[in-house]
Amino acid sequence: MKRIGVVGCGLMGAGIAEVCARAGLDVVVAESHPAAVESGSERLRTSLARAQRKGRIPDAEAALRRIRVTDAIDELSDREIVIEAIVEDENEKVALFRQLDKILALPDAIIASNTSAIPIVKLASATTRPEQVLGVHFFNPVPVLPLVELVPSLLTAGETTSRAHEFVRGALGKRPILCKDRAGFVVNSLLIPFILAAVRMLESGFATRDDIDSGLVHGAAHPQGPLALADLIGLDTTKAIADSLYEEFKEPLYASPPLLVRMVDAGLLGRKNGQGFYSYR
Ligand code: CAA
């Protein structure tokens, strides 16, 4: 697959567009309005310039030229695969999948979702081609982390999973793993309860923020501690994934502790808006 579409040019969408362009693929990114096109384009420029500065790519401008950011979703019509990376809202995603199903002209085009929380089968069922829908879940920061979870639903054709595997491994050079269509897939099923446990530890006064994070960085060789990682993921996203895990399994270890809920209520969302467990201002 050479013609790639991405919907959403936020943190994840821009990262996905970037790795596709860096792999030499032609990318169209659809955003919902002109201001989002502008901020998404700026995000791409900044990240690609950083990659060039670090010597990871020879020419940021060449990669940028392979990406077109637009607010006209119809421009996705000729894409071979479209990866959706919009907000984690089931109604919005279902509406988008319905729309993409109508727009995509190629009969074998794949519609993929970067969701970390919404059942793939619900998105697949909104289309007339559920056998060509699957989850393709990247990790943040997308240009840095090699993992991609591939999530076929009960309705996905084996051929679709194989093509997605070839795209992720062969074209992008990432490391795919196969997951079942259940909340959390593999990584978040393990990572989110770990982060929630760290928040509970902080909340109970058992240890300080810095000691919790320092413990995991220096005692377990994690690149960053669980509270810093929650800030990176976004506290709202962390809570949304926890909620979906809790709804699916009803296990107390997936229940968001009050501190996390109150921080989200207060708009303390982590890196994305400057304040979470740490300050980024
Ligand atoms: N975009 C592009 N490159 C980035 C980047 C970004 N946002 N952030 C860091 N980098 C690059 C840097 O340029 C640097 O590159 P070089 O090695 O070439 O110098 C490298 O990554 C390391 O960065 P830094 O030296 O600035 O900082 P660091 O060593 O502290 O690493 C980190 C930062 C990459 C975020 C690292 O701490 C890390 O990998 N943390 C774990 C992240 C993680 O677990 N993510 C998964 C979250 S779960 C998820 O995404 C799924 C979900 O559904 C919620």
Assess contact for 243 and 249: CB atoms under 8 A.
no
φ/ψ (deg, to 5) at 225:
-75, 170
Quick one: CATH architecture of 187-273? Orthogonal Bundle (1.10)
| Bridge partner residues of 138 (DSSP) | 148
Whether the predicted model's global pTM rises above the 0.90 cut: yes
* Distance, first Cα to last Cα, the chain: 41
Q: Which atom of ligand 1 is nearest to the CA of 137?
A: 53
Ligand 1 pocket, 221 CB below 6 A?
no
| Two structure tokens written together for 141 | 């920061």
Q: What is the mean pLDDT of each run of 10 residues along the chain (281 residues)?
A: 97 97 98 97 97 95 97 98 95 98 98 95 98 98 97 98 98 98 96 98 98 98 98 96 96 98 98 96 92
Using the mean position of ligand 1's atoms as its centre, give its distance from the Cα of residue 232 in Å: 9
Measure the CA–CA gap between 244 and 236, rounded to whole angstroms.
12
pLDDT at 113: 98
pLDDT at 47: 97
Ligand 1 pocket, 233 CB below 6 A?
yes
User: Nearest C-alpha to atom 15 of ligand 1 is from which residue?
Assistant: 54
Hey, what CATH class is 3-178 in? alpha beta
Ligand 1 site-directed mutation target among 57, 120, 144, 191, most atoms within 8 Å of CB: 144
| Bridge partner residues of 5 (DSSP) | 28, 82
Measure the CA–CA gap between 30 and 68, rounded to whole angstroms.
8
Answer whether 3-178 and 187-273 agree in fold.
no
Angle between helix axes 226-233 and 235-249 (nearest 10 degrees) is 100
| Two structure tokens written together for 29 | 């990114």
DSSP state of 154: T
- For 145, other C-beta atoms within 10 Å of its C-beta total 15
| Residues labelled as active-site residues | 116, 137, 149, 188
Give one DSSP letter per residue of 4-16, joined into a string: EEEE--SHHHHHH
Domain positions in the chain: 3-178, 187-273
Assess contact for 81 and 16: CB atoms under 8 A.
no
pLDDT at 99: 98
Cα 278 to Cα 142, 220, 262, distances in angstroms: 22, 21, 15
pLDDT at 68: 98
Whether the ipTM is more than 0.85: the answer is: yes
The runs of H, that is alpha helices, within the chain are 11-22, 34-53, 60-65, 90-103, 120-124, 158-165, 187-203, 209-220, 226-233, 235-249, 258-265
Residues near 169 by Cβ (< 8 Å), separated by ≥ 6? 175, 176
Using the structure block, give the residue that is written with the tokens 């607010």.
71
